[in-house]
């Protein structure tokens, strides 16, 4: 299991479009992926779970991956979440 702390930089927060992109990318990996924010932890492959976190710009979030391709998943999702979803 690997974990990373990321500062979420999207200026509008984690609304539907970036959340959908996150879930799409997370779904490509053969591992369990979780996102944690404000003492809540959700499956990063679940759009409803991700949206329920209501992550705002500048938030510090924890990403956790556990499985056969956890390193690649963590690297790609960290890049996505730390960027601006262009």
Q: What is the pLDDT along the chain (86 residues), one digit of tens a residue?
A: 999 999 998 888 899 999 999 999 999 999 999 999 999 999 999 999 999 999 999 999 999 999 999 999 999 999 999 876 65
Supply the pTM of this predicted model.
Answer: 0.91
CB 24 within 8 A of CB 76: no
**φ/ψ of residue 75, rounded to 5:** -60, -50
**φ/ψ of residue 17, rounded to 5:** -65, -55
Bridge partners (DSSP) listed for residue 61: 6
CATH number at residue 31: 3.30.1340.10
pLDDT for the residue 82: 85
Q: How far is CA 43 from CA 6, 11, 26, 86, in A?
A: 16, 23, 9, 23
Number of domains present in the structure of the chain: 1
Catalytic residue among 1, 3, 15, 17: 15
Structure token digits, residue 15: 């609304």
The parent domain of residue 44 ranges over 2-82
15 is catalytic: yes
């Amino acid at each position: 299991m690997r974990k990373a702390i990321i500062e979420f930089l999207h200026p509008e927060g984690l609304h539907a479009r970036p959340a959908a992109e996150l879930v799409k990318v997370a779904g490509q990996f053969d591992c369990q992926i979780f996102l944690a924010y404000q003492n809540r932890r959700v499956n990063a492959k679940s759009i409803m779970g991700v949206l329920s976190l209501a992550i705002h710009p500048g938030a510090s979030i924890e990403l956790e991956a556990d499985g056969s391709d956890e390193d690649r998943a963590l690297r790609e999702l960290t890049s996505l979440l730390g960027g601006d979803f262009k």
